Chain A
């Protein structure tokens, strides 16, 4: 259990947060300036908070009341930075071994061979960072953090310096970290896609405060909360991969409803997390006919949230889980979309971006 309770002032900005996160991947989610990097810095010991307490299980990193603030190097961290920060004078193998060298001799360690195999960096071991691609560097950075025998792994927007292709290459490794590593991970992000794919727990931050904490489905499915703006709002549902069709589509089962998506590369029976952007969802009061869209989810309107603009965010409860739809207020009024009425959510198969679809390993076991 990771517990964080911090207060710190930076001029006019005031950080005041408290949260406890269960094991797994905890994502600090918010816009730049919401305080997420300050929290990571305070947890890492790169910044000393005015007041606060940070602990991982019974391992206390900061307790200002007790006058305790461990220096960075004694916090037993694995830190994955945005820009990798590999040591240029060391080979990949030496970079990987760097943190392990400073860890206590009796610390539980990851096996170097297993980590190298998991990250697919075996062929890089003898090389130096200067010759690696951005994605390769970030994989080595993940390995270096894992092999430092950490009690807590921190990742500060580790994907944001990468282009889309590299992001897609690295995201699955964080899914595997979440599912296969027992050390708690604190992941800083401003991307709903990353949150949807990898979060066990989401801590949504706004202006230095926690605005919501919960699972990815809870936080991203809250119509009143759009930490990154309504344009990037979208609910998360979990489905099971049941069939690969010959026409290139994958069939998923979501609470008894069949969903069709472009080919999802995962084993049959695997659980799949899927983010459906709110602006990709069309609502209908009646059973739609003669539509090209393959995915139709029957449900009930649970909440309608009006913002300042012409739009409305509708939360629909369906057998597959909650779905968010962004429609205009005019449509919402015309259709009489009120809490309690029945409606259908229509999603084009090709709508979800490939990055918004990811496998969860533990559910398959």
Chain B
């Protein structure tokens, strides 16, 4: 496969995989926390939290990308702070692409996990509580294992969304080969030059293969996990 793709194309594919992997991985704990808060916690301003979580889903990606640039760019408030204190730079780096992809994928991940949490019978969590488990232990020993299929679905969705993310990424971190040129950006670039269709279509095939693999893998893992849990609906 390495011979089949040119080094430039190969870099784009590798970068996209890296960006998506980290986007899905880093947003996972935050996604579980947010989903749990939305599904189970009672607190004032729950709808206020719901808004920003879902905003990337409904805003034009370019707008999200621009807002990321304003916030996390070199001159942005958060961007300046992170660079000064932690040396973390997002602007025009692959980390920025991962951030953009993560933000765009976040609502999809939260939604999948939230549905899974809502499907868990609170009576089981109550039973764990009366058996001596404190709330964090209830979550770790009962809720988390039961929502594992939902988590897998959420991670897959987030990964696939991150692989395909284009608008926010190109607005936030531009389209620098080897730095921020992800698979979709590369396809876009190739289509801008005459005769680039061949390269573009090779990448299109790669994108389809990766997406399908991710989908099949998650179906397979999800089914295996569900079988382990063993008929959630039938159990009382």
Please give, as numbers and ranges, the residues of chain A lying within 8 Å of B135 by CB-CB distance: 73
A310-334 residues with Cβ-Cβ distance < 8 A to B are none
Cβ 8 A contact of B129, one of A73, A83, A103, A130: A73
Contact with A along B109-134 (1 / 0, CB 8 A): 00000000000000110111111111
CB proximity of B187 to chain A, nearest CB, Å: 42
- Of B127, B138, B231, the residue contacting A130 (CB under 8 A) is B231
The minimal Cβ–Cβ distance linking B135 to chain A, given in whole angstroms, is 8
Chain A residues in 8 Å Cβ range of B123: 81, 83, 85
Asked if B58 is at the interface of the complex by the 8 Å CB criterion, the answer is no
Digit string of A138-150 for contact with B (CB within 8 Å is 1, else 0)? Answer: 0000001000100
Contact B131 A99 (CB under 8 A): yes
> In the complex the two chains form, what is the Cα distance from A320 to B133 in whole Å?
49
Q: Is A129 an interface residue (CB 8 A)?
A: yes
- Give chain B's interface secondary structure class: helix
What are the residues of chain A within 8 A of B127 when measuring CB–CB?
Answer: 79, 81, 85, 87
Q: How far is the CA of A86 from the CA of B123 in the complex (A)?
A: 10
Report how far A271 CA is from B229 CA in the complex, Å: 45
Closest partner residue, chain A, to B131 (CB atom): A99
* Given A88-B235, A129-B235, A130-B235, also A98-B128 (CB < 8 A): yes
| Residues of A with C-beta under 8 A to B128 | 87, 98
Q: Which of B126, B132, B134, B228 contacts A89 (CB 8 A)?
A: B228
| Nearest chain B CB to A106 CB, angstrom units | 14
Identify which of B138, B228, B236 contacts A83 (C-beta below 8 A).
B236
- Are B132 and A76 in touch, CB under 8 angstroms? yes
Chain B stretch 216-231: residues in CB contact (< 8 A) with chain A: 228-231
- A299 contacts the other chain (CB 8 A): no
Q: In the complex, how many residue pairs between chain A and chain B have their CB atoms under 8 Å apart?
A: 89
Closest to A145 in B: B131
Set of chain A residues within 8 Å of B236, measured between Cβ atoms = 83-86, 129, 137, 161
Contact B133 A102 (CB under 8 A): yes
A148 lies within 8 A of B132 (CB): yes
Q: Determine whether B214 belongs to the interface, using a CB cutoff of 8 Å to chain A.
A: no
A144 with B235: CB separation less than 8 A: no
- A361 → chain B closest CB, angstroms: 28
B234 within 8 A of A: yes
- Which of B129, B131, B232 meets A88, CB within 8 Å? B232
A78 — which chain B residues lie within 8 A by C-beta? 131
Q: What mask results when residues 193 to 236 of chain B are scored 1 for a CB within 8 Å of chain A, else 0?
A: 00000000000000000000000000000000000111110111
CA distance A210 to B141 in the complex (A): 39
Min CB–CB distance A218 → chain B (angstroms): 31
Q: In this assembly, does B146 line the interface, its C-beta being within 8 Å of a C-beta of chain A?
A: yes
Please indicate the chain B residues that have their CB under 8 angstroms from the CB of A154 in the complex: 130
Is A131 an interface residue, CB under 8 A from the partner? yes
Q: Which residues of A contact B60 (CB under 8 A)?
A: none
Contacts of A77 in B (CB 8 A): 130-132
On chain B, the residues within 8 Å of A73 by CB distance are 129-135, 137-138
Please state if A144 and B131 are interface contacts (CB–CB under 8 Å): yes
Say yes or no for A64: interface residue by CB 8 A criterion: no
A84–B127 CA distance with the chains assembled, in angstroms: 9
For the complex, what is the distance from the CA of A44 to the CA of B123, rounded to whole Å?
Answer: 13
Whether B129 pairs with A72 at a CB distance below 8 angstroms is yes
Q: When the two chains form their complex, are residues B137 and A87 in contact, meaning their CB atoms are under 8 A apart?
A: no
Q: Which 7 A-B pairs have the closest CB atoms?
A: A102-B132, A88-B235, A130-B231, A99-B131, A85-B127, A79-B130, A130-B230
Instruction: Identify the A interface with B (CB < 8 A).
Output: 44-46, 71-79, 81, 83-89, 98-99, 101-103, 128-131, 137, 144, 148, 154, 161
**11 contacts across the A-B interface (CB closer than 8 A):** A73-B129, A73-B133, A75-B130, A98-B131, A99-B132, A101-B132, A102-B137, A131-B230, A131-B231, A137-B236, A148-B131
